[in-house]
Chain A
Amino acid sequence: MNDFSEIESKLRTLRPVQPSADLMTRIERALVEARHGESLHPGKRSTRLRSATARQASTAGVLPREPRFHFNWLSLGLGLAAAAALVLFAFVRLERPAKKTPSLAAITPAPTFSSANANAQFVPAGLTQVVYRTRDEGLHFPNNSGQPMRRVRSHSRETLRWRNPTTGASLRISYPSEEVSDVPVTGQ
């Protein structure tokens, strides 16, 4: 290496061109902009930074590093799907027609809550009985009695409803029923 000491020393006398005065300010600006998460396009960066430098003074003090932010596309997708499902569900609920209460039936009055069963899970909320067919089966003499009885057979559908006052959930049971009644015949 000693053979090259002379040429090395001559090379060291060469002084590289110094950077322009605003380069440090430009870098400082770029670091500040990078901290704010601005996406810089390499092709456009320099010109924009130079003009920004001309307008603004350099920042001083501390340059905190930008927080590393990793965008999670999976979370975004799941969130959007959940939001869409929620909107769809609300739309379906709004579109559902109101139920008609049968005028034919005997409807029990709405129950009143007592403090005793306020904590019960489900409390009775109503009973609806819809009689949709009644048939007169004529006179009968039940149990060999001498008193004639008129037998009436009726078909109905009964619906029982319960409601949870704390959660608002409701439970409904509906079943058909048949009732046979003997009505005494008098006045003959």
Chain B
Amino acid sequence: MKPSIDQIWEWLDAVPDPEIPVISLVDLGVIRDVFWETDVLVVKVTPTYSGCPATSIINLDIETALKAQGIEKLELRRQLSPAWNTEWLSDKGCIKLEEYGIAPPQTAGGPAKCPRCGGTDLFRISQFGSTPCKAQWRCQSCLEPFDYFKCI
């Protein structure tokens, strides 16, 4: 019997993002659709940034996780449009990001508060960071630098 689509979403929600392992691929919003085409399971995946090196690892992790659950016929399809944006991050994912020390994206364009001390006197060090999806900021209260998940 084919597993239900809800069941598959649940399995995918247990696959961690390779770069930020506290959130799942579902939290990240890169899984756009899951459906059966007769006996083949189709998963549509969108890249966060076009050059993000994690994209191929993400595909591999999805494949490994679903094969482990007994899915034998699987097809991963790349979906470019609509382009990934940070509004697709789940609320659960944003909370986990902050707990992990990464300020979640804000539509205002910068972090709302320091993920360590909650300070709001913040300074942008660089528009880029250790991965394509992050920028570097510093809290002027606790003086600690932190990652900010870029809003795009």
Co-complex (A, B): no
Q: Which residues of A contact B (CB under 8 A)?
A: none
